[in-house]
Structure 1
Amino acid sequence: MKVLLVEDNKELAESISDYLRGEGYLIEKAHTVYDAEDKLIAFSYDCILLDLMLPDGNGIDLLRSIKQDKINSGVLIISAKDALDDKVAGLEDGADDYITKPFHLSELHARLKAIYRRKKLDGSNAVVFNDISLDTNRMEVMVNDALLDVTRKEYDLLLYFIINKDRVLSRQAIATHLWGDQADDLANFDFVYQHVKNLRKKISAAKGNDYIETVYGVGYKFNSLKQA
């Protein structure tokens, strides 16, 4: 899961980031409304962790902008404020959940997973498409009931393909999803081809159908209409 953490307390932001990276998340940080807006223009995120009290503005105003711009990210408000009206305002303006500081990082992790399941996976921990199934709790891939030995990036890539099936995904979009804004520092996206190649090879070895199509000059598409 790719997450944008909007939090001005740098020590807390680092603590949250370290924990979630350990759980396999891709985390990017913004410490101000301005930084967050800049990142949201350039990149997409599965979920946004949003503090309400920021040095250059209010998190609620940023939340309203997110919804107005139809950014399809889950939003989990994190704030020291415990007043009922703040919670109600955040939820009424489109937040998916609200957690009050101080909180246990394990609870934050659980709430993020719940938001992701609701918004991306129809509330399920399992993602199934024909002969391919993914367990999002165990981060495992099964093809024809055979467990695939995939890397974390290959797992993330396959989940990204299935969630966005029948959409053409550029190599840059894939790179950004897997590596975040670090992808901007890369000379090219040849490594995307290698990850796709390895994933295809492992699926084929399990006698699975290769739904991944190359769109020459652009990127790839997971073709749900492709027949075995």
Structure 2
Amino acid sequence: MKILIIEDEPDMRQIIRESLLKEKFLVEEATDYNSALNKINDYDYDCILLDIMLPGGSGLDILEELKKLHRSDSVLIISAKDSLDDKVKGLELGADDYLTKPFYLAELNARIKSVIRRKSTKGDVTVSLGNLTLWPDKREVSIGSTPLVLTRKEFDLLYYFVINPGRVISKMSLAESVWGDNVDQVDSLDFIYSQVKNVRRKLKQAEATVELTAVYGFGYKLTEL
């Protein structure tokens, strides 16, 4: 799962990044208003951590932009401003939660997992398609009652497909969901091919009632049989 930290304070940004990496999240960063806008225009995120006070503009304006784009990214505001008006406006503009600085990292991590779970699974603790069930918080998968063993990258890819059932997803979108900012530093498309092949094989061997298929010239899609 991919997180975008929009925060101009280097120390705070680094602390949050290190904490999220320990939780096995993929982390990207933006340090000001303009770089944040570029990020949200180019990529989708499972959760955006948004500071209100940014160089070059306001985090509330970024929420306005997300609303105009009809984006469904979860947004958790993290701000030193403890104004009731800011909280109300942020939530009205579509933020999912609001956490005032200073905060404990354990609470931040719990809030992130909570907003992602609520939005991507509509409040359920699992994500299901056919006889396939995923537990995002525990990173576990089962086919019926039988556990399916996946690597971390395989889980991330399968999760991305399951929350986008029937949607044709390009190889580049899959690569970005796995590597984010580092997508250009690896031979990612070949890796995606091998990982999709592995996941497809494991689903078939486990007699899953979903199928991962290639759409020539476009990418892949996961559909229920």
Q: TM-score range by the shorter chain?
A: over 0.9
The residue aligned with 2:70 is: 70
- The whole-number CA distance in structure 2 between the counterparts of 1:164 and 1:38 is 24
Cα offset for 1:120? 0.8
- 1:190-217 residue CA offsets vs partner (Å, 9 max, x unmatched): 1111001111222222232451011112
Cα offset for 1:59? 1.0
Cα offset for 1:8? 0.3
- The whole-number CA distance in structure 2 between the counterparts of 1:33 and 1:151 is 36
Letter in 2 for 1:36: A
- 1:24-58 residue CA offsets vs partner (Å, 9 max, x unmatched): 11110000011111111211111111001112111
- 1:77-119 residue CA offsets vs partner (Å, 9 max, x unmatched): 0000112111112112221110000011111111111111221
- The alignment's TM-score, normalised by the length of structure 1, stands at 0.94
Give the paired residue count. Answer: 225
Q: Is the partner of 1:98 in helix, strand or coil?
A: strand
Q: Is the 8 A contact 1:154 1:195 kept in 2?
A: yes
Q: Is the partner of 1:85 in helix, strand or coil?
A: helix
Task: Report whether the alignment pairs 1:80 with 2:80.
Answer: yes
- Structure 2: give runs of 5+ residues left out of the alignment: none
Q: Is the 8 A contact 1:171 1:220 kept in 2?
A: yes
1:210–1:86 CA distance, 2 compared to 1 (3 A): closer
Overall identity of the aligned pairs, in %: 45
Q: Is the 8 A contact 2:130 2:208 kept in 1?
A: no
- The whole-number CA distance in structure 2 between the counterparts of 1:210 and 1:121 is 18
Task: Report whether the alignment pairs 1:190 with 2:223.
Answer: no
Q: Is the 8 A contact 1:144 1:207 kept in 2?
A: no
Q: Is the 8 A contact 1:144 1:206 kept in 2?
A: no
- The whole-number CA distance in structure 1 between the counterparts of 2:93 and 2:136 is 29
Cα offset for 1:137? 2.1
- Which moved further from structure 2: 63-72 or 165-174? 63-72
- Structure 1: give runs of 5+ residues left out of the alignment: none
Cα offset for 1:187? 4.7
Letter in 2 for 1:42: D
- The whole-number CA distance in structure 2 between the counterparts of 1:84 and 1:186 is 45
The residue aligned with 2:3 is: 3
The residue aligned with 2:176 is: 176
- The whole-number CA distance in structure 2 between the counterparts of 1:83 and 1:45 is 27
The residue aligned with 2:96 is: 96
1:36–1:155 CA distance, 2 compared to 1 (3 A): same
Q: Is the partner of 1:122 in helix, strand or coil?
A: coil
The residue aligned with 2:144 is: 144
- The alignment's TM-score, normalised by the length of structure 2, stands at 0.95
Letter in 2 for 1:155: F
- The whole-number CA distance in structure 2 between the counterparts of 1:36 and 1:133 is 34
